[in-house]
Structure 1
Amino acid sequence: MYNPTVARLTYRALLGRRRAAILCVLPVLLIVIAAAVRSFSGADDQVTANLLGGFALATMVPQIGVIAGTGAIGPEIDDGSIVYLLAKPVKRPTIIFTKLIVAIAVTMVFSAVPTFVAGMILNGNGQQLAVAYTVAALVASIAYAAVFLLLGTVTRHAVVFGLVYALVWESLFGNLVPGARTLSVQQWSLALAERIGTNGLITSDVALPAAVVLLTAVTVLATWYAGQKLRTLKLAGEE
């Protein structure tokens, strides 16, 4: 199911100079803010939870997911270069699965790693906050990559729709509207973080069993449907 050639081409596309620079903006900003906060206010568990939850998990992780997920396949579909890949003797579900793995890996590296570093800067993993939010970022990366990879296969405006989802639904409604929280990847990942963190500093509106089921279902269904959509793409001369 995993094709090294497809993976290499996808990594090259995602980590090109321009896209890599974009991917680095939010992680660098998070670490700079963490260092500034620590220097001014010292180690504070509540401040750490607020920054890692409000900025890292609610804003940075979904936006990194948008860039990696849509960028793994969207540009190839938009410019038509996908036909060269589809013409190769590689099954289309294999293409989707490989691109998903690459998108997940890139999202994890550019979101979970800086989340952990920021947490250690802020309070040295007091109350297990750095580890808890890192786990949440890792889990959220999987679901976000799958959802935004699907968007890249169904619309030419995947980045726009992805950013609207990330900024409006996850960052705004997911934090402010009680009913919307149960349909938020952020809240599902927080359910795992809540189990790791201590002193009630991390809370989620979704129970852990439900969160695991929803994360799994969304990832599997998005990946399956992306594969189905790729099957419908026709090459010249195909019946």
Structure 2
Amino acid sequence: MAANMAPTGNRAVSAFGPVSFVQTARVLIRLAWARTGSPVLVLGIAALLLLPMVFGLVFASRGALSGDPVDFLMGRYDSLVAGLATPLIALLLGTSAFSAETDDGTLLYLVTTTTPRWWIVASRVLFASVLTGLLSAVAVLGTGLIAVSTSNPEQVVSAYTIAVFYGGVTYAALFTMLALVTRRALVSGLVYVLFWEDALSQTFQGLQYLSIRKWMAAVAESLTPSGSDRVGPSLPFALVAALVLVSVTVYLGGRRLHRPRISRIGT
């Protein structure tokens, strides 16, 4: 990403040799963390992760009176982790970096280097998706450990660990794209999570195929014995839809960064 880089053929070369995509991604990810790792954001994410664990503690404290652990875990995972923590964490991580870099001029510097625009977007998606997936998995594993110790009834804990990591990647791609195409990415993301996924997709069954939360449910239920007869998006559909969404985000995001009106990017 040094300023003394010059294109040679189809490859960017600096005075020190070819540009390393791995090293460039590391720099971009560190920069994204510097823009998003504020105390307020860390506290907000911590609260989202601790909420399902509090319910797990209440469940464990009641002993035999708590009921079926499978129903409890699936309910808490679906509503508090997949339905709340995962999308909101992805929204915060996927939108805040581009917004901050637009305000302080860092993004304008990035797009004037020889770093491919699509690689800038891909690195941002990688940062937001991996961090969201890992944090969501911590919420799933922590809640399961508190509620049912090391047991894994009907593979619910392992199934949702995989599902929320999948959801972290998919949500991060969507919200990164929103950050690049609109100045109101945070508001648009909240409308999608709280209105589209929570209200509309519950009312109109056809909209489930455009709901990342339902895609996550398809992944989770495909890994549990009780999910074989589910109605809605299938596992193959969810996987293909996520791949398409990530690809479109990287492609359109790269095209968006080629345009000069950088000031329109943000939350």
Query: TM-score of the superposition, structure 1-length normalised?
Result: 0.89
Asked if residue 66 in structure 1 is aligned to residue 88 in structure 2, the reply is no
Mapped contact 2:166–2:216 kept (Cα < 8 A):
yes
Tell me the CA shift for residue 137 of structure 1: 0.3
Distance 1:122 1:172, change over 3 A: farther
* Residues in 2 aligned to 1:201 and 1:21: alpha-carbon distance in whole angstroms: 38
Tell me the CA shift for residue 234 of structure 1: 5.3
Tell me the CA shift for residue 42 of structure 1: 5.9
Mapped contact 2:35–2:100 kept (Cα < 8 A):
no
- Secondary structure (helix, strand or coil) at the match of 2:257 reads helix
- Secondary structure (helix, strand or coil) at the match of 1:89 reads coil
Asked if residue 17 in structure 1 is aligned to residue 39 in structure 2, the reply is yes
Asked if residue 8 in structure 1 is aligned to residue 30 in structure 2, the reply is yes
Tell me the CA shift for residue 145 of structure 1: 0.4
- Determine the structure 2 residue equivalent to 1:30: 52
Question: Match for 1:112 among 137, 140, 150?
Answer: 137
Asked if residue 180 in structure 1 is aligned to residue 202 in structure 2, the reply is no
State the identity %. Answer: 28
- Determine the structure 2 residue equivalent to 1:152: 179
Give 1:232's aligned amino acid.
Answer: R
Distance 1:152 1:18, change over 3 A: same
Give 1:198's aligned amino acid.
Answer: P
Mapped contact 1:62–1:144 kept (Cα < 8 A):
yes
* Residues in 1 aligned to 2:212 and 2:243: alpha-carbon distance in whole angstroms: 11
Asked if residue 220 in structure 1 is aligned to residue 242 in structure 2, the reply is no
- Secondary structure (helix, strand or coil) at the match of 1:129 reads helix
- Determine the structure 1 residue equivalent to 2:119: 94
**Unpaired runs of at least 5, structure 1:** none
Mapped contact 1:43–1:122 kept (Cα < 8 A):
no
- Secondary structure (helix, strand or coil) at the match of 2:225 reads coil
- Secondary structure (helix, strand or coil) at the match of 1:233 reads coil
Asked if residue 76 in structure 1 is aligned to residue 101 in structure 2, the reply is yes
Tell me the CA shift for residue 203 of structure 1: 3.9
**Unpaired runs of at least 5, structure 2:** 1-20, 263-267
Tell me the CA shift for residue 153 of structure 1: 0.9
* Residues in 2 aligned to 1:43 and 1:12: alpha-carbon distance in whole angstroms: 43
* Residues in 2 aligned to 1:12 and 1:185: alpha-carbon distance in whole angstroms: 28
Distance 1:58 1:175, change over 3 A: farther
Deviations 1:51-90 (A, max 9, x none): 1112211122111111111123222224543213223332
Count residues in correspondence.
235
* Residues in 2 aligned to 1:45 and 1:201: alpha-carbon distance in whole angstroms: 16
Query: TM-score of the superposition, structure 2-length normalised?
Result: 0.80
Distance 1:233 1:24, change over 3 A: farther
